[in-house]
Amino acid sequence: MNAFITAAPKWIGTGLVGLTLAGAVQADQHGMKADIVDTAVEAGQFETLVAAVQAADLVETLKGEGPFTVFAPTDEAFAALPEGTVEDLLMPENQDTLRAVLTYHVVPGKIMAEDAMAADSATTVQGQDLTITTMDGQVMIDDATVIQADIEASNGVIHVIDSVLMPE
């Protein structure tokens, strides 16, 4: 059974307002952090993302050694896509497109919020660059806002975003 360990909020000064970084860290009964996939499953707000990762056959990859930085859209973010988009992406014949969308949310390496705030872009596993901007203490990844940052996993970090990123 997994135990929930809640990290205390941290404030990182940005010269602007600052960014609140509060995250829940998953741990097993031995105090070991769960991997990115198990952390997402346990969080309960990424059911669509987890289903998409399974449909794209990326579970073993994201359970791998990493480290990975995942910009994870919530279920609400997926629900905001045009009607039928998620269902179309989950069809077996669209697996390559789904993989491209999902790997556009993953950056190799472990990029914590403080590092992301100092960057202006990051190259995804999919191959394209994400644009990173910080304004008034909010971090934007392309057009998505980071709503929860620095959720650490055994093989990387998750940053929760409020919309689904689409590669060009």
CA dist 37 and 18 (Å) reads 29
Supply the pLDDT for residue 91. 95
Q: Are 21 and 9 in contact (CB under 8 A)?
A: yes
Helix, strand, or coil here: 72?
Answer: strand
Domains and CATH numbers, the chain: 3-161 (2.30.180.10)
Q: Please give the model's pTM, rounded to 2 decimal places.
A: 0.81
Residue-wise DSSP of 114-127: HHHHT-SEEE-TTS
Q: How far is CA 126 from the centre of its chain?
A: 14
Q: What length does the chain have?
A: 168
Q: What confidence tens digit (pLDDT) does each residue in 3-36 have?
A: 222 222 222 222 222 222 233 334 444 456 899 9
Q: With a cut of 70, list the residues of the chain below it in pLDDT.
A: 1-32
Supply the pLDDT for residue 10. 28
